[in-house]
Amino acid sequence: MGEAFTFTPGASDPEGDALQFSILNLPGWANFNAQTGELSGLPLQNDVGSFDDILISVSDGTLSDSLPGFSLAVVPAALKQAAFSPEGVVEPNADGYRSIGPLALNLGTFVQRFENADLLLEFNANDDLVGLLGEGDVPELLSDFLAVQGNARAIIGVTSGRDLNADPDLGIRLVDDNQYFVYRVASNLTLSIGDRRNPAATRTVTLEPPLGGEIILIVDPLDPLQYYFGSQPLLGSLGVGESRRGLIPFVPQLPYPALDTFNGHQLLLGSTSLGTRVFDFFEISGSRVVRNPQFQDIDWDAPFDSAVEFRAGLNGDASFALAALGVGVFSFDLAETSATLDVGFDRQSMAMQTVIEPDVSWVPDWFPIVPQTEITGEWLINGDGDFEVELRGGYRSTLPPIQMSGSMRIDKEAVTLTARPGGPDSDLSLVAEFGNQSVTARIDVNTDFAGGIGNAVSDALDRELQALEESVQALENAIADYEFEVSLGGLRSSLPGITDTAVGVINAIPGRVRDSVDSGTVSALRNACFLGVCASSFVNETAIGDRVGGHARAIANDAIVPYREAMEELKRQAQEGDDDALRAALKTALLEVYDRRTFSLRLLYTEVLDFGFGIGERRITLYDRTFTRQVIPADTANQIRDAADNVDRLPQASARVVSGQAVVDSFRPREVIRGVKEEVDSGLADIPSFDGMGYRISLGALTMFIVLNQEEVGVSFNVLDAGEALVGIGEAIADGLLGL
């Protein structure tokens, strides 16, 4: 107030065309130049207040552009030294004086009196008040609609809005460059408050200091503005502010561009419920700032249906839920929230930003995507119940398993996730659409991934060739060591080698059981989480895995005894002579070994863990599997069964020998694999086009696939893991080229 204001936007036309400026919501005290876009003026005392939604636009006759809408706040001028009239002892000093006793402040419309005061006043070279500090009685009249009943002592000061805004515990934001009287009262205080729309109406509020604190009164008698923060008997803490000229700033605590910054008339601290057609419920605890009407004029249960126009801003912690069509209920608890509502006869809109902790409980129970990091939500809502939500952050897919970063979009029609599996630098991009306990997902790849498919096919052929060589070598060794004569004599000579090999397999079982149970237990504990609390945070999963694995090994040691004894008995019988009695004993031993050709052991371990307050004890399954090991190879077991069936009829000697060469010859020829690999490496192979990947989930059942030549091919590898997927695609294409 009382200072000239000028603002000129920067604008130019690349073709040199003349520009024409226009403005909406021009303040009454201002002038606007349509040729330059300059906004200027000299606001006076009657112009104190907030001027919102000012919009400057420019056009070259064809195209146009606008600045973002903005507000201007005209604040009262600083108090002058002449406005203060000390009526007691005055002690001058270099910057002002000390006033002991009564002090009157002439504000034009009324005189504010400080009784029993001891105050230091400081002024600058222009006689502007720059500081006031001391103690005294709270003035009976703080503004023309705020009075104090009875006597109350206070620490009194004059502080800038900027300094007050630096104290987050006050619960109010004020105009940075304005001056405010601040009263800190340690005793009970009763206020008479007038209605700015009906000066004849008053209400009485009794405050008491919060436990261990004090009542705070912030007043600008020139606005007039009042703010009081304290505690009410039986009701708890209370914070209320009102500015007749609308100079209570609302500044969102979260930086969403769609949120408005504006100046309001009223502020209220506390909790409220907000009703819309979008949320099943919405409760927020924090601060509300409203421009134009009073709080009681707004139907907070249905704000879009209110009979008055208003703008409102909310900052605080919100709990709310909404149902997505056909998907389920998303329920959020104590999310940090900033929101603005703009409601008029031609508009109903709400913008909101939320910061949500990584609590898996806010998604529907069946949902295979859960938050992994803090999630930032941006919400746009209208009075018709239409809404759009973007929830950005880190997520974890439970089926198929992978961590990812991306955005979940929720509206009236669908829930869609767009993400990068594995992180923001992943070669894969995912788009998943969610339905009634179902997911349909499409995975696209970047050029680096697509360019590596040829090498992946070549690598798969190399592995195929290596596997062939190893199989051939193993079979040739077996032929040399265990050439199996069908005759009884040949069988007898082969059996010791067969049983010795089987005993080696059997003796290795306890160690393998121990390793399997150990690793399975550790994995189960690391994945045992309830409401964001994971077992690995309070137990030593390595020690538990070692303990359970050791117990499983002891059980396996006992379980293998009859298997080992059967093998040793068969070896002993094979080394005996040949007569009818010995043949009968050999037959019994052969059948016993055949019955024990496969070792199987069911192991189940559980543990009760205490997850703490709110969760309690939960029984965790550490390991539940059937450990199986082939003791005798299937072809050898079949020969043993045939020998047992025919042992009574077999001659002692026979020239017939089962040759392993026929088995070797049944493998793919080396030349075929090498030929296909050469075509792939030279670029001559007819490799099918890779057209993406995807998966579907229905009622918990997962189906994964790749698309080759526009046709889906089912796969078992994790299509969300870029490394695993590239190897799997290479193997699938290699198998196709080999005709498998």
- Across-strand partners of 354? 337, 377
Please tell me the predicted confidence (pLDDT) of residue 488: 53
Please tell me the predicted confidence (pLDDT) of residue 296: 66
* Contact indicator for 170, 161 with CB cutoff of 8 Å: no
Please tell me the predicted confidence (pLDDT) of residue 252: 93
Q: CA of 424: how far to CAs of 78, 150, 400, 417, 695, in Å?
A: 53, 65, 18, 14, 21
Mean pLDDT for 535-550 is 89
CA nearest neighbour of 567 among 481, 496, 644, 643: 496
Q: How far is C-alpha 534 from the chain's CA centre?
A: 17
Please tell me the predicted confidence (pLDDT) of residue 308: 77
Half-sphere exposure of 296 (CA within 13 A, CB side): 2
Residues 59 and 130 both lie in one domain: no
Q: Which domain holds residue 698?
A: 437-469+669-740
- Per-residue pLDDT tens for 49-104? 888 888 899 998 888 898 888 888 888 888 899 999 999 999 999 999 999 999 99
CA gap 541, 265 in Å, rounded = 58
SS (H, E, C) 611-657: CCCCCCEEEEEEEEEEEEEECCCHHHHHHHHHHHHHCCCCCCCCCCE
- Per-residue pLDDT tens for 504-523? 888 989 988 998 899 888 88
Residues 89 and 214 both lie in one domain: yes
CA gap 228, 268 in Å, rounded = 10
Residues 161 and 274 both lie in one domain: no
- Per-residue pLDDT tens for 655-714? 333 334 444 454 556 777 788 778 877 776 778 889 999 999 998 899 999 999 999 999
Residues 67 and 108 both lie in one domain: no
Residues 441 and 521 both lie in one domain: no
Transcribe 283-310 into DSSP letters: EEEEEEEEESS-GGGS-TTSGGG-SS-E
- Label residue 653 by pLDDT band (50, 70, 90): very low
Residues 266 and 385 both lie in one domain: yes
- Per-residue pLDDT tens for 345-364? 677 889 999 999 887 778 88
Q: Which of 658, 691, 725 is the last residue of a domain?
A: 658
Mean pLDDT for 20-26 is 91
| Residue 217 maps to a domain | yes
Q: How many domains does the chain have?
A: 5
Residues 224 and 323 both lie in one domain: no
Residues 99 and 236 both lie in one domain: yes
Residues 577 and 517 both lie in one domain: yes
Please tell me the predicted confidence (pLDDT) of residue 135: 97
Q: Is the dihedral of CA 725, 731, 732, 733 positive or negative?
A: positive
| Residue 477 maps to a domain | no
Helix (H, G, I), strand (E, B) or coil at 733: helix
| Residue 425 maps to a domain | no
Record the tokens describing residue 712, joined without a space.
């889906």
CA gap 729, 704 in Å, rounded = 12
Mean pLDDT for 156-179 is 89
- pLDDT over 70, % of the chain: 91
Average pLDDT of the chain is 85
- Per-residue pLDDT tens for 407-452? 999 988 889 999 999 989 999 999 999 998 899 999 999 999 998 9
Most confident of 28-42, 303-317, 626-640, 678-692: 28-42
Mean pLDDT for 514-538 is 84
| Residue 543 maps to a domain | yes
- Label residue 406 by pLDDT band (50, 70, 90): very high
* Contact indicator for 321, 338 with CB cutoff of 8 Å: no
| Residue 479 maps to a domain | no
- Per-residue pLDDT tens for 242-296? 888 888 999 999 988 888 888 898 898 888 888 888 888 889 999 999 987 666 6
Please tell me the predicted confidence (pLDDT) of residue 662: 46
- Per-residue pLDDT tens for 208-232? 888 778 999 999 888 878 888 887 6
Q: CA of 308: how far to CAs of 262, 265, 291, 293, 662, in Å?
A: 18, 15, 11, 7, 92
Mean pLDDT for 308-331 is 87
Residues 91 and 213 both lie in one domain: yes
Residues 320 and 403 both lie in one domain: yes
Q: Which of 598, 633, 658 is the last residue of a domain?
A: 658
Residue 31 reports pLDDT greater than 90: yes
Who's near 674: CB < 8 A, 6+ residues apart?
465
Please tell me the predicted confidence (pLDDT) of residue 648: 64
| Residue 428 maps to a domain | no
Pairing of strands 262-264, 438-445: unpaired
Residues in the chain: 740
Most confident of 295-304, 460-469, 652-661: 460-469
Residue 484 reports pLDDT greater than 50: no
Residue 333 reports pLDDT greater than 90: no
More confident residue, 371 or 465: 371
Q: CA of 24: how far to CAs of 41, 48, 55, 69, 370, in Å?
A: 16, 20, 5, 9, 46
Residues 596 and 521 both lie in one domain: yes
